[in-house]
């Protein structure tokens, strides 16, 4: 065999043309095989990207980019339309329609859809196929389209997260939410279109909705139509300035006032008896001091079972109008002289904190890494080198003396390790807002993950406290509970004078698109007694380290475990 290979080598040395000819034929044959395999199966399409931009409604006060104590100048951004978290896809991709008379395929799809629905029974119950009308929708709450990745669960998840009772899918790619079904049902055979993101399930048809009742809709998100209930508040002193647009409605109802303010493009709708007021959250009306709801419990003139507030106490709802006063973002106009880290253990809410900082300052954040999925979601600083000096702060999960000392200061975000470990495990196996599969939790992956990552949670904090030059500790739980105050502290470390109206705007946009739904919470505790014993020891170590530096210890909800 060896002699044959030597002879073959000598032959091709004497005649190299034949060697390259054979090589070209080999590559061509391989290409043909690859192309054939590509056309043999069904093609898949990746998800569409969101558009970015900025925009302001009529009478919208421009807050501008924050004034920097570093000497940067603020500039007014270009105005344009910015879509919120629920948007209509601009994709013109044609929708595949079922062929008439194909009884076998229709029956097969119905069977697959039925089996899929049975799996969803724990979170939603299929009700039936209903007629829809583009001029008068059957479900009149929030809606969003995705002509590439729509699935039954995605629609259910988004509607339930926002407190709706029903989720409906139409045309294979459209999702509608609502509290009432305002149309009649029809034959199941008319809901015959496959979901764009999962061909094993049915997503309605042409002007037909596959509707589910959401068994786990979250009551915390009390919602009327498309509005989120914010609470009962005392009428501000300068009410005509705080809520500049008003309309007398003798037949007042929540829907009427919300619709009026939505049409006027204001994010707040305030009911004061028979007077409907609209505006923005400002320093004159912060929505920070809620009153007892009984003070607003005056029956609406146009709706017997609703409350409409009084002339002294306002019942406030947040409409689906996006508050664009804090949506403008750009790179720093001049190179930053200091590098500020946004440091955290993975799963501690770093991406969410970046979202808040970008809205609060008007400047992009950077990253020690490069994550294409985050760049595609609007984190434009993700592509910049972390030393570029064009971003307001740098995301990092690094620990260790050398890496930490490369930063001039840091915001250290700490989260309950039990929550952080589960969040990072979900990210690792399900993406930034996805979930790990049940098999991963029950398999060997979870115990190995805890054994490797739990010690890192403690050493990460200890390293930053030890080697960090100027460290501001922020607890994730405090940021959730008192966002305004904690965000003020974070923005202050970045050398920026906080504009209160802009921070109030951030409060209304705080979730962004980076929050996992609570709909798929595990039904059991994944931590064994041995795991809890080890993690509790790490918590005590971090708590002691914080107190030795005259800082508040870990929040109380880390205990007992």
Q: How far apart are CA 476 and CA 254, in angstroms?
A: 34
- Confidence at residue 276, expressed as pLDDT on a 0 to 100 scale: 96
| pLDDT > 90? residue 69 | no
Using pLDDT thresholds of 50, 70 and 90, give the confidence band for residue 134. Answer: confident
- Confidence at residue 180, expressed as pLDDT on a 0 to 100 scale: 75
Structure tokens at 450: 């805890």
* Average pLDDT score over residue span 420-439: 84
- Confidence at residue 264, expressed as pLDDT on a 0 to 100 scale: 87
Enumerate the domain spans of the chain.
124-214, 223-318, 340-558
More confident position, 265 or 520: 265
Query: DSSP state, 27?
Result: H
- Confidence at residue 393, expressed as pLDDT on a 0 to 100 scale: 96
Fold (CATH) for 340-558: Rossmann fold (3.40.50)
Whether this prediction's pTM lies above 0.85 is answered by no
- Confidence at residue 229, expressed as pLDDT on a 0 to 100 scale: 87
CA nearest to 504, candidates 332, 270, 268, 245: 268
CA nearest to 188, candidates 126, 133, 137: 126
- Confidence at residue 25, expressed as pLDDT on a 0 to 100 scale: 79
Neighbour-count burial of 44, counting CB atoms closer than 10 A to its CB (0-12 exposed, 13-18 middle, 19+ buried): exposed
- Confidence at residue 548, expressed as pLDDT on a 0 to 100 scale: 94
**What DSSP assignment string belongs to 439-501?**
HHHHSSHHHHHHHHHHHHHHHHHHHHHHH-SSEEEEEHHHHHHSHHHHHHHHHHHTTEE--HH
Angle at the Cα of 417 (from 482 to 461), degrees rounded to 5?
85
| pLDDT > 50? residue 68 | no
- Confidence at residue 513, expressed as pLDDT on a 0 to 100 scale: 59
* Average pLDDT score over residue span 16-26: 74
Structure tokens at 129: 């196929």
Mean pLDDT of the chain: 79
């Amino acid at each position: 065999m060896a002699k044959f290979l030597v002879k073959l080598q000598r032959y091709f040395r004497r005649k190299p043309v034949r060697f390259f000819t054979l090589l070209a034929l080999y590559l061509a044959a391989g290409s043909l095989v690859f192309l054939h395999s590509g056309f043999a199966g069904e093609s898949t399409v990746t998800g569409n990207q969101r558009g970015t931009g900025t925009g302001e409604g009529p009478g919208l006060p421009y807050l501008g980019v924050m004034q920097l104590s570093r000497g940067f100048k603020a500039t007014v951004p270009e105005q344009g339309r910015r879509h919120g978290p629920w948007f209509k896809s601009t994709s013109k991709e044609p929708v595949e329609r079922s062929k008439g008379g194909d009884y076998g395929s229709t029956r097969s799809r119905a069977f697959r859809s039925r089996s899929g629905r049975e799996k969803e029974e724990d979170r939603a119950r299929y009700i039936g196929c209903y007629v829809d009308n583009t001029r008068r929708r059957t479900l009149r709450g929030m809606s969003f389209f995705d002509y590439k990745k729509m699935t039954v669960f995605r629609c259910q998840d988004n509607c339930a997260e926002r407190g709706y009772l029903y989720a409906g899918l139409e045309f294979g790619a459209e999702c509608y939410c609502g509290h009432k079904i305002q149309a009649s049902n029809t034959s199941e055979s008319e809901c015959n279109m496959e979901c764009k993101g999962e061909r094993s399930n049915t997503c309605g048809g042409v002007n037909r909705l596959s509707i589910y009742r959401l068994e786990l809709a979250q009551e915390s998100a009390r919602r009327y139509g498309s509005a989120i209930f914010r609470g009962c508040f005392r009428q501000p002193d300068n009410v005509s300035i705080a809520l500049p647009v008003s309309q007398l409605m003798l037949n007042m109802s929540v829907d009427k006032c919300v619709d009026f303010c939505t049409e006027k493009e204001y994010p707040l709708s305030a009911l004061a008896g028979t007077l409907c007021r609209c505006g923005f959250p400002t320093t004159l009306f912060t929505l920070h001091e809620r009153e007892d709801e009984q003070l607003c419990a005056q029956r609406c003139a146009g709706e017997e079972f609703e409350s409409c507030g009084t002339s002294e106490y306002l019942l406030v709802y947040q409409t689906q109008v996006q508050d664009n006063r804090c949506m403008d973002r750009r790179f720093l106009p001049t190179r930053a002289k200091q590098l500020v880290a946004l440091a955290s253990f993975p799963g501690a809410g770093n991406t969410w904190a970046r979202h808040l900082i970008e809205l609060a300052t008007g400047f992009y954040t950077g990253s020690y890494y490069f994550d294409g999925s985050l760049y595609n979601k609007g984190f434009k600083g993700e592509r910049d080198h972390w030393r570029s000096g064009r971003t307001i702060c740098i995301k990092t999960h690094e620990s260790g003396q050398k890496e930490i000392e490369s930063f001039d200061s840091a915001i250290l975000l700490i989260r309950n390790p039990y929550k952080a470990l589960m969040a990072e495990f979900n990210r690792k196996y399900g993406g930034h807002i996805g979930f790990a599969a049940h098999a991963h939790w029950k398999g060997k992956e979870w115990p190995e993950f805890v054994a490797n990552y739990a010690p890192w949670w403690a050493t990460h904090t200890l390293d930053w406290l030890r080697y960090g030059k100027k460290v501001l500790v922020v607890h994730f739980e405090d940021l959730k509970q008192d966002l305004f105050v904690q965000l003020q502290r974070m923005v202050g470390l970045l050398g920026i004078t906080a504009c209160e109206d802009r921070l109030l705007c951030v409060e209304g946009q705080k979730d962004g698109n980076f929050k996992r739904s609570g709909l798929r919470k595990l039904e059991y505790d994944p931590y064994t007694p041995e795991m809890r014993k080890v993690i509790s020891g790490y918590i005590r170590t971090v708590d002691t380290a914080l107190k030795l530096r005259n800082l508040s210890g870990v929040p109380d909800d880390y205990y007992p475990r």
